[in-house]
Amino acid sequence: MLALVANAALQPRQEIQMDLVAKTLRQFGAVRFIARGSSMIPFICPGDLLTVRLTLPSCVAVGDVVLNSREGRFYVHRIVCKWGGTRFQTKGDALRHRDPVIDAGQLLGCVVAVERHGKQVQSRVGLWNHLLVALVRRSEFITKAFLRCHAVRTRLHSSSASPGGMAFEHEALCQS
């Protein structure tokens, strides 16, 4: 019963956050936020700082990582199918199954930068990355091991970072 009350209290907060992100994207052309999920590992890990730029649906391509909204939540997943400029199908790199088809109105923007421990993360397409993605997708044990290693690296980086640093830095980004 208590969980139902907690979930009911979170729902208006999530709606406000989603509305704020959408308005910020429309007004300033970009938004930055911290990733929380693990559906896109190893490319995007929990705690990574993502920069999402407002993008027209006709300008996204298969392979792009996009921010979309569905079922009252945000998802940052890779486009795997595109039908014209109006319908898309996405999938988390670490997930086995594709997401439901979304329409252009649910597509909010394209991830243009991923920052981890203060450094830009490059999208790697090499053999090692494909192997790691395949292992994570097929093995819960490998996924948990990867996330544990990432958490240790994050703690080590946090302890070596300068004291008093901000976990999130607001930066207004404009589309050029």
CATH of the domain at 55: 2.10.109.10
Domain residues for the domain of 115 are 2-159
Q: What is the pLDDT along the chain (176 residues), one digit of tens a residue?
A: 444 444 555 567 778 888 888 888 889 999 999 998 889 988 898 989 999 999 999 999 999 999 998 888 899 999 999 998 899 999 998 888 999 999 999 999 999 999 988 888 876 666 777 777 777 777 888 888 878 887 887 777 776 654 444 343 333 333 33
The answer for 117, left when phi > 0, alpha when psi is -120 to 50, beta otherwise, is left
In a domain, 34, yes or no: yes
Q: Where are the alpha helices (DSSP H) in the chain?
A: 2-28, 127-138, 140-160
Determine, yes or no, domain membership for 171: no
Number of helices followed by number of strands (H, E) in the chain: 3, 8
